[in-house]
Amino acid sequence: MYRLINLGLILTAALLCWTAPVRADHDVPYRDSVEGIGSVDLSHYPLVTVHITGTGHGLHLGPFQIDGEHILNFTDGTVAGSGTLTTVSGSTIDVTYSGTFTQDSAGNRLLDVVIVSGPGTGRLAGVTGSATTTVVVTPSGTPYQTIFTYAAQGTLTFPDNRPQP
């Protein structure tokens, strides 16, 4: 009888050793910095559409390009938009963002936004996340064009089937 119990325990232990461990989604801190150009369309004022292009560098992303569009609502001071970050490997992650904007004493627009990202493609497949930032938008000296910069901080979540950074 004891031999059967011992054999059962040995087999159970062996099965546990051969079973792959269960991994949960993995959150990692995220930071990035971005600068770029905004092309302004005033044709539907007080709703102002801005197409943005720029470059940045993000923790766990490396260098990337951003392409997107947002709408500033001058009636209520809100902003909402979306874009795509594309890494040098061609992996992408889509982002949406929303928040409010104000103007400082120097004439810069300050956009306080929450960014929600994902899921991504390529090496970023299934990655999601969120971040907050204040975007500083300054006149470029060229009509209907602005310069923007920001540094975001937040969290990326890598799904359980992805290699951990």
CA 35/CA 42 separation, integer angstroms: 22
Domains of the chain listed by start with CATH number: 22-158 (2.40.160)
C-beta separation of 85 from 118 below 8 A: no
In Å, what is the CA distance from 18 to each residue of 11, 122, 124, 163?
11, 30, 29, 20
pLDDT in tens, 72-129: 999 999 999 999 999 999 999 999 999 999 999 998 999 999 999 988 999 999 999 9
Q: Which residue has the tokens 């051969």?
A: 18
